[in-house]
Structure 1
Amino acid sequence: MSPSLKRTLSSTHRSISPPPIQRKIPRSTKHVADTRSVTPHAHADADQFRIFSWNVNGVGPLLQKQLSFSTDPALSPLRTFLKRHAWPHFLCLQEVKMNSKDTATQRRLQSAANEGVTSDEPCYTLHVSLPRDKYNATGFGGKVHGVATLIRDDVVANVRATRRPDWDLEGRVLIHELNPGLVIINGYWVNGTTNPYRDPSTGKVVGTRHDHKLRFHNMMLAEACKFEEEGKYVVLIGDMNIARARIDGYPNLRTTPVQHVTNRADFNAKFFTEETGLRGIDVFRHIHGDTRKYSYRPRGKQWGDSGDRVDLCIVSRQLVEELNAVTDTDICDNAIDRGHSDHVPLWICIDILKLKANTTIKTSMPSDHSIVDPRSIAEK
């Protein structure tokens, strides 16, 4: 490997809708997105900070074979994805399905992101948070859950800190604090089921995954509100495992068992409607109104037969209403961008100049402008 590709792998081991009536929705172009790529090329300039998010349902295919969107055999599918989407500054991946001890696969993932790099193209640095819960994240040899973030190297100097919260033992959250005053939280939110949830310390069953999902909502809310209290602007992005309203599910919104309705109400209240909550903005709905696009597209059905908008980007209200800094967003609701996964990517553009001009946060950088993490994994 050439010196230019040697990178540090930072591992941070550490409105509410009632149940809808049963209905048949006529098949129309509103529900069946075309297969053209949705790419924000118009915003691929220095002032537009672009964040992509994708639940990849396992990184294996990104490392091992060409996918439907691959056109250059010299590039990995991951590098091809980054190139065709005009080199986003952040790529937040969820459900990466890597064992926490498998540093070789982590290195392969970073290498794949930088494969075939030329002198006029950017490189990426990888950060990961992987499961360390010996009772609740043990299936498939520990290859469950997990999030990873690829950060373009020309913006790494603006990342003040990357960490995973201590309460997250399942490898679901990565928090990135940037200058000026922007916090990006990459999250793979808990999916509510009736399966048992065990106390991480004792292994004793203490409820269901539905109960754990509600606790996860509380912890994510606390993280986001803490940053807002410090005067920072928060971007929550990732697979949140919630379709917010009837318009977000096709042909139906999931309402049984009833706990899904409870989970949805809790999510909407905490992050959108309660005065004591985040009161965030769902940027896709803010910009695209009642447009129907979906981020979950199951592979067991014909394209267009089913979909749910469960991958979201929620931002601090001030980022939109005061700074007008969110310039665009969309969902890549097409079969090509789904690739090997059962989810498609989504993205958001933020005008970084507006953020810099209006922020009142006084930040300081380390003297060498580096991220210091004693748990980093140095590539050998």
Structure 2
Amino acid sequence: MSPSAVKRKLSSSARSVSPPPLRRRTDAVQAQRAAQTESTNHSHKLNFYSWNVNGIGPLLQKQISFTPDATYPLRNFLKAHEWPHFLCLQEVKINRADTATQRRVELAANAGAQSDEPTYSTHFSLPRDKYNATGFSGKVHGTATLTRDDTLETAASVPDFDLEGRVLIHEFATIPLVVINGYWVNGTSNPYRNPDTGETQGTRHDHKLRFHKHMLDLCKSIEERRKSVLLLGDMNVAPTRIDGHPNLRTSPIQHVINRADFNLKFLDKDSETGLKGIDVFRHLHGEKKKYTYHGRGRPWGESCDRVDLIVASRKLVDDEAVVMDTDICDNPHDRGHSDHVPLWVSLDASTWLNQSESKVD
């Protein structure tokens, strides 16, 4: 079996967390695009982008044009970054009941697509906690993932513990990889309310630590099934001193506790109970100083942090060596309307695909 033979459109199960589908494309157009993507998709490289967009609205505004195939900023972003296989977005700020905006995301991702260009499907995890995620008319938090229709088959799901629209799980069908798009809890002294009763149950700092435990349990359960984890997103933690400029956040002291808990659970290679994951940017770029958060209203580079991370199961680096490259788009242009910049990682799936082929043969 050739590598292209295992590439197909996403399964219907991946639609379980998506909005109602757009009007169906004609069979002829689908067939034409499938043929073209099959002929150009011989590479085994998988490209993953992550970006906290701080509200997806500006990416859905149609470009002014006198042509009928005018595109959207979201489509232009995908094109500018050479059509990533996954675009993991955080803080999209879409109300769960707003299916019209959810459909617009897929429209904006695909409008103006040429016959030789890929198309995308969309998946969402949006807030459903009536006590802790109700601000701004429910337009808080929220994650969305755009997956290329010509890439390997995946199924999307939301874990039971995620009531605030923070986590999207994407499990590949033919390779041993699970990608998790996450907008991790930001620790504050604000109260956290029991999602069932509404009663105060500690602070958002306490909730952040519980979230760390949930995420660790999720990752460990995946690895127990002999699959690797790739965590992408805004993790609201700057792991080390060089990840904050001019200073690392140390006050109040709970931020120090949160950071230590994150590092122990996800990055400490000597932890007996943690993931022992690898921060791929630090692994490949050493102590190079780049940042993902640049607050608005200040000169570029005056105050910034590396809180958006890509963390990989150690096996992806040490054993299978599939991590090819990674970087941070640390510049004002790529920040766009947001206060975060995108970051990306490339994986080489050839070893996995060759193993799958040998089993079939």
TM over 0.5: yes
SS at match of 2:223: helix
1:308 aligns with 305
1:97, 1:144 within 8 Å by CA — same for their partners in 2? Answer: yes
Q: CA RMSD in A?
A: 2.1
CA–CA distance in structure 1, aligned partners of residues 306 and 351 of structure 2: 29
Q: Shift of the alpha carbon at 1:12?
A: 2.5
SS at match of 1:223: helix
1:181, 1:359 within 8 Å by CA — same for their partners in 2? Answer: no
Q: Shift of the alpha carbon at 1:322?
A: 0.6
Q: Look up the equivalent residue of 2:203 and give its one-letter code.
A: T
CA–CA distance in structure 1, aligned partners of residues 272 and 178 of structure 2: 21
1:325, 1:355 within 8 Å by CA — same for their partners in 2? Answer: no
- Which of 74, 78, 89 in structure 2 is aligned with 1:82? 78
Is it true that 1:126 corresponds to 2:131 in the alignment?
Answer: no
TM-score (norm 1): 0.81
CA–CA distance in structure 2, aligned partners of residues 65 and 342 of structure 1: 22
SS at match of 1:118: coil
SS at match of 2:60: helix
Q: Shift of the alpha carbon at 1:314?
A: 0.3
1:356 aligns with 353
2:62, 2:71 within 8 Å by CA — same for their partners in 1? Answer: no
Stretches of structure 2 that go unaligned for 5 or more consecutive residues are: 1-10, 19-40
SS at match of 2:294: coil
Work out the percentage of aligned pairs sharing the same amino acid: 63
- Which of 123, 145, 162 in structure 1 is aligned with 2:141? 145
SS at match of 1:218: helix
1:12 aligns with 17
2:169, 2:179 within 8 Å by CA — same for their partners in 1? Answer: yes
1:135 aligns with 131
Q: Which has the higher contact order (CA 8 A, sep 6+)?
A: 1
Is it true that 1:154 corresponds to 2:150 in the alignment?
Answer: yes
2:49, 2:87 within 8 Å by CA — same for their partners in 1? Answer: yes
SS at match of 1:284: helix
Q: 1:80 to 1:152 in 2, by over 3 A?
A: same
CA–CA distance in structure 1, aligned partners of residues 146 and 226 of structure 2: 26
SS at match of 1:278: coil
CA–CA distance in structure 1, aligned partners of residues 171 and 207 of structure 2: 26
- Which of 274, 278, 296 in structure 1 is aligned with 2:293? 296
Q: 1:65 to 1:185 in 2, by over 3 A?
A: same
Q: Shift of the alpha carbon at 1:272?
A: 1.4
- Which of 75, 91, 98 in structure 1 is aligned with 2:94? 98
- Which of 332, 335, 355 in structure 1 is aligned with 2:329? 332
Question: What's the CA shift string for 1:247-270, capped at 9, x where partnerless?
Answer: 000011000000000000000000
Question: What's the CA shift string for 1:124-152, capped at 9, x where partnerless?
Answer: 00000100000000000000000000000
SS at match of 1:191: coil
Question: What's the CA shift string for 1:177-233, capped at 9, x where partnerless?
Answer: 002111000000000000000000000001000000000000000010101111001
1:216 aligns with 211
Stretches of structure 1 that go unaligned for 5 or more consecutive residues are: 1-6, 14-43, 68-72, 364-380
1:317 aligns with 314
1:230 aligns with 225
1:11, 1:128 within 8 Å by CA — same for their partners in 2? Answer: no
Q: Shift of the alpha carbon at 1:173?
A: 0.2
2:34 aligns with none
Question: What's the CA shift string for 1:14-50, capped at 9, x where partnerless?
Answer: xxxxxxxxxxxxxxxxxxxxxxxxxxxxxx9722100
Q: Shift of the alpha carbon at 1:115?
A: 1.2
1:221, 1:277 within 8 Å by CA — same for their partners in 2? Answer: yes
CA–CA distance in structure 2, aligned partners of residues 350 and 359 of structure 1: 17
